[in-house]
Every structure is written in C-alpha cells, then in structure tokens.
Structure 1
Amino acid sequence: MRLLRTVVTRLLLLCAMVAAGAAAGAGAANAAVPDVWGFAYVNTNSGVPNLSYQAGSWTSGTVTVTPGVPGEYFVRFPQIGIPKGGIAHVTAISQTAEWCQIEKWGQVGTDEIVAVRCYRYGGGPAKALFSIVFASSSGALPAGTQAFGYVYWDGSSIASDYNSSLGVNAVFHNATGDWTVWLPGLGSTTAAGNIQVTAVDSGSPARCKVGAWGWSPNGQKIQVLCHDATSLPRDTGWTLTYQRERAITGAFAPPKLFAYTFDNTPANPGPYAPLPAGVNFNYPGAINKIQSAGTGLRLVTFPAVGALPNDVQVTAFGPGPEFCNLLTLWTTSGSDVYVRDVACYNGTTRVNQASFVTYTSVY
C-alpha cells in the first residue's frame, strides 16, 4: 500500500507539471534580473528541509519535499511558479561517488516544482542529500563587467534560455554526449566568470560537465559533455548557467555576499588563489583560496561572504568522464564559508579534477 501511494503521488505530480507546460520556452518581457529565484539544501526526503539553508523571492511559505520512487524527490518552491522557462541546477552531497540530476520542472498552482533524481555510479538509486537552485530572468543588463546567461537544452533544441546582452544563444551538437554552447554578447578579454552544468533526464541516469571553455570579446564558447551511469558518452538534456560578477541566481546587490572560483590547477596542494583573477571572484573583494584535503578532495574557502541562508553548487571541468559533488554540507563560520570538500571521481575512485564552485547568500 505504501508503494502504491508513492507511485500515485509521483504520477500526480508529474502529470501536474506536464499540464502546466514544464520547462518549455523562454520569457521575453523586460524585467529585473532575476524575475524569480530560490535555493535550498535538501536534507530530508519528505517535509520541510533545513530552514537555515533555503531562501527565495517568495513573500511567505517554505520549500517542501515529496518523495517519489527510490532516489527521486519533488522540491516545491513556494509562490515562484512561472508558466514557462527558467533554469535549475542541483549538486549531490555525499560521501561516495553519487550525483543528482534534474528530471523536469514546472508550475503547479502558484509554486514551482523541480523533480530531482539521484544515482550512484553504475546507475543504482541514491539517497543523496543535495543543494538546488531555480531561477528565471528576462530583460537586459546595462553594458559593463557584469554578465549572465543560461541555456536549457531539452535533448533536441533550446527549450529555455536567457542572455543579459539580449544576444541569441546557440547550441551545436558535435557528437554523442558533446555540444558547443555559444553565448554572444557576454564576452571577455580573458577567462572571467563561472559555469554550472546539470543533466536533465527523466528516463535514465545522466551527468554533465564543462569539457572546455573559450572566451573572446564577442562571447563565451563552452563545451558540454555528458555521460551515462558509467563513463560512456550520452545524449541527454542539460542546463548551463554562465555568471560573471553576479550570483548564480542572476541577482546582484542583494546579494552583496557571493563568490565563485575555478579550481583550474587541482594538483596544486595550496592554499592558492586561482588565476586569472576574473575566475576567482568575491563581491566584498576578499581572496578565495583552495587547498588539498587529500586525493580528489579540495577545501574551498570563501572569506567575508558568510551569511545564512546560503547555497553552493559544483560542476566538474575537463575532457573525460570525471564528475564532482560535495562531500559534506558547507560551513558558515563568522564571515567565512568553508566548502569541506569538493570531491571528484573517475568511476568510484577519487581523483584530482578541475571544477567550478559557486556560492551565494541571500544578503
């Protein structure tokens, strides 16, 4: 009977999301950036997750979670439901080689529900903790150093996207599990900003990462690579967000306490500050540091930005099938944040691997 109730609940939620037009299309109205946003640390499979780690543009209510099949979770963000569009990212928090992916998202009533599925390497369901963020933006940002853009690729086309220069984003399918993303108008003369990528697949295990990154004054060129439950290339859907001097939600001032970094020399025992400075941004102006905590484990310190509620997301970088998650929940101590640790894997073996890490508070 309990299994039957779980299946029925899952079907009702999925049907409601499909009926609402889950994750299709992009808004075009001029508005502040972002239009809506929310994040949460999900530490329960049912009920209200930790209140100290959830925040959003809602005026009342809390994030809630409903379980589905093993490894599946429906995260409901109150009062920020939108008919179409937006972007979602999720990062597993686990002691082992596990990841979480998005299944779909959509409006149900006034709320936004994001369906998450977590797996362990090999494809079995995982009872993982995770951090999640959802946001939607429209309109343009004034010309300057700040830039923000995202793309949701549904497996065959761009289903939702945003570009703060109002440029037209493009995606090119190169080979199985391999795409090139072009974000025009968000260019830089050197490496600057941060990138987050998450697989979107409701049928099978999939994980995605940044394979390569190129920049020019005209735009950002990013390779997305995706793999199946093991290490084989896989065609799937995915989300990608590029941020430069703005929070992962697209917001700015507030929050005045946010930071990101690119661990581009993962064999460096550290502590070290990644270069060029544009990939190691801290809004108050402090210097983020990274150091080894053992093979495949990286301690990231974001000074002067510590404030609850807050959120951390991680994405692996490089040409192979490696992936990264968070070993434990990050710690906020005084004004500093300690991500202890970013953990990266090749198969089930921890390896030193480059990664993007982004942090935001609500303030």
Structure 2
Amino acid sequence: MTRLSRILLAVAIALGLVQVATSPAQAAVPNRWGYAYVNVPVGVPSLAHQAGSWPGGFNVSVTPGGAGETIVRFPQIAGPGGVAHATAVSTGPHICQVAKWMPIGPDQIVVVRCHQFGGAPTTVPFTVTWSESTPPMAGPGTQGFGYVHYNGGIIASYNSAFGANLVSVLGVGWYKVDMNGLGSAAVAGGIQVTAQNDLAQARCKVVNWAPGAVVQQIEVRCFNAVNTPMHSGWSLTYQRERNINGRWVPPKAFGYTFDHTPANPGPYAPAPAGVNYNSQGGVNTVRSTGLGLRMVTFPLVGYAIDHVQVTAYGNNPDHCNLQSIWNTMGGVATVRNVQCWTNVTRADRASFVSYTSTQ
C-alpha cells in the first residue's frame, strides 16, 4: 500500500466510510462490570441476582462498615475508573448512595451507604452495579451509551460516539450534562443517576432531559438528607439499546422504561417507543398499584441472575426506590414496585427503570 493510499484509508476510517474489524477483546464494552442485590449484612449476597465479568468460581461478598454502610467486593474486576449506581430496596423512604469505589488488589470495592429520609443511617437491602468502559466499541448505529462520574470535575467519562461529555454547574447542587454525539433523531434512551459522596448524606436525580439529534442534554440535581440543595458527586449513565453496563450482545434480554406519566393508572406503555425499549421486541408496561407505587412489567426478557436500577425524575426533591425484590417467571420480569416519595409520604412521581439479565 502506498503512502497516499494509507492516508486516504485513514481519512475514510475517520469519516466513518470504512469499518475496521476489531477482535472480540477490542470490541468489548464494557472492559469490566458487575452487579449484585445485597440482601445480607455480611457474606455472599443473593446468587440469583449477582453477575459480572469475573471468571467462574468467584462470588460477590459484603462486609459491614460504619453506620448504614456496606462494603461490596466485586471479585477479579479491579479498574481505575467507571461509574457505580445503587438503589435501596425497602418498604420505607430509604435512600442509598455510593460513598466511593476503588480497586484493592484484583477486586473492585464499592462502598454503599444508606439512610432514611431525614438522615438516620440504616442498613437496608439494595442493588448495586459498577462498570468501566473504554473505546473502541462496536454495535449498530442506533445504539448509544455513555457515562459521567462527576465530583467537582469529571473524574471518569465514556461516550460510545467518541464525543465529549461536558458538565456545567447551573447552581447549588444543579448540573447540566452534555453528551455530544449521543443524540438521536427521536427521543430515545434511559438514564440512571446515583449520588457519590463520602462526606455527607446525599441523593441525586434527573430533573430535566432535553434529547436532541446531536446531543443528549441532561440536568441533575442533588439534595442533602432532607430537601436542601447541595453540591455532591454523582454518577450518570445514559443507555440506548444497551444494558445498564453498556453491553449489547450479550445480553439479549434487557429493557428500560421512562414512567413519565405517573398519574396514568395504566397499564400503559410509555411513549415514544424509544424510551420504552425491550431487547426482545416486547412492550414494557407500567401501572399503578396504589399511591406512589408503580408496577413495571418487562415481557420476554425476564430471566434469573438479573438486576434493576431506579432513578427519580422531576424538578423537585422527591425520591424513588424499590419496594421489594422483583420477580421473574416465564420470561417476564415484574418490578413490584417502584416506590416514590415526597419526604416520607408516597407520591406519584416519574422515574426511570432499568432491567437486565445475563441471558
């Protein structure tokens, strides 16, 4: 190949006119990942709800830390960056945040702290996930995936379109995230946000989403143990036709939905279809089971060894969690219920829900 030919080929690749084959290792997104449902204070949590990129023969383990704190050890997947998400699983108005994460030897440690609204630390079950991605990526052009870990500056960032993820501070505890290149022609995707704070109790949520053809623009707000806005670190993940950890194949069984009309008694399928994605072509539905209680059904994708995350949406301090562990039967995953709160009172509020299995 001549020098000119090499230059022309490089230009064509840069413009997306030529696709470059990558090895499976190169194309893997993410580099490493793990999730768990932590239902014990010490030992090995539920084997039915933990999975990761570690080799066979290893399990997630947990140990207690300080008040309301659980130290989660994901085996053999240590990495320097990434993002972490956690959701409380409780009948009460509880919030779980991620205090910090770091590699220790070959393992990835994620420290989760939980408290009830008002600030009292407490130990409750929770779901937790951590993943780390780096380019290059592979997948159909309709897919998109990105994340940001922010704490006074961008600590970790990934964008499957190779665009820049930018964060602007709009006010106290109020942030705007621009995920350039991850735009879509129609409104599509799902979002998860979790507070990251090692110094104070915090919770963060999505308060505005302005999808565009070029950029996904998302606003995050954070609050203290009551309802006062506060600066805090946080993790944000945007998924479009990928699971919460960024994988697109496998798994083949995952979905997400945006319950943007919580006053709708349902069952209803959130629209447009791009915010109500099901990897097997099923139609996810949402219905009310009581004030502030939303049952979400993911048909055709419900298999064991699965995971759920929930994030509240709306320009208010309200928050959401999971009322109980979800159920999978006959290929259907039923989340009963997403539970949302104004202070300590259940209220109908919008939320993002993400489901994945290892199938």
**Aligned counterparts of 1:238 and 1:320: Cα–Cα separation in 2:** 17
Which of 255, 279, 283 matches 1:283?
A: 279
**Aligned counterparts of 1:229 and 1:205: Cα–Cα separation in 2:** 6
Who is 2:132 aligned against? Answer: 136
**Aligned counterparts of 1:76 and 1:97: Cα–Cα separation in 2:** 26
| CA deviation after TM superposition for structure 1 residue 189, in Å | 2.0
| CA deviation after TM superposition for structure 1 residue 31, in Å | 5.0
Counterpart of 2:70, as a letter, is Y
Helix, strand or coil at the partner of 1:341:
strand
Who is 1:152 aligned against? Answer: 149
Q: Percent sequence identity over matched residues?
A: 51
**Aligned counterparts of 1:177 and 1:191: Cα–Cα separation in 2:** 26
Counterpart of 1:303, as a letter, is P
| CA deviation after TM superposition for structure 1 residue 190, in Å | 2.1
**Aligned counterparts of 2:215 and 2:226: Cα–Cα separation in 1:** 33
Helix, strand or coil at the partner of 1:199:
strand
Partners of 1:147 and 1:244 within 8 A in 2: yes
Residues 296-325 of structure 1, C-alpha deviation per residue, up to 9 Å, x if partnerless? 000000001111100000000000000000
Counterpart of 2:347, as a letter, is V
Deviates more, 1:351-360 or 1:51-60: 51-60
Helix, strand or coil at the partner of 1:292:
strand
**Aligned counterparts of 2:296 and 2:72: Cα–Cα separation in 1:** 27
Which of 246, 255, 265 matches 2:242?
A: 246
Question: Counterparts in 2 of 1:9-158, with a 5 A limit?
Answer: 32-60=28-56, 61-82=58-79, 84-139=80-135, 140-141=137-138, 144-154=141-151, 156-158=152-154
Who is 2:299 aligned against? Answer: 303
TM normalised by structure 2 equals: 0.91
Question: Counterparts in 2 of 1:166-315, with a 5 A limit?
Answer: 166-315=162-311
Unaligned runs of 5+ in 1: 1-28
**Aligned counterparts of 2:105 and 2:239: Cα–Cα separation in 1:** 30
Unaligned runs of 5+ in 2: 1-24
Superposition misfits of 4+ residues, deviation over 3 angstroms: 140-143
| CA deviation after TM superposition for structure 1 residue 141, in Å | 3.8
| CA deviation after TM superposition for structure 1 residue 229, in Å | 0.3
Counterpart of 1:97, as a letter, is P
Helix, strand or coil at the partner of 2:301:
coil
Partners of 1:141 and 1:165 within 8 A in 2: no
Residues paired across the two proteins, number? 333
**Aligned counterparts of 1:50 and 1:309: Cα–Cα separation in 2:** 9
**Aligned counterparts of 2:339 and 2:256: Cα–Cα separation in 1:** 17
| 2:316 matches 1:320 | yes
Computing the radius of gyration from Cα coordinates, the structure with the larger value is: 2
Helix, strand or coil at the partner of 2:266:
coil
Who is 1:332 aligned against? Answer: 328
Aligned CA RMSD, in angstroms, stands at: 1.1
| CA deviation after TM superposition for structure 1 residue 163, in Å | 0.3
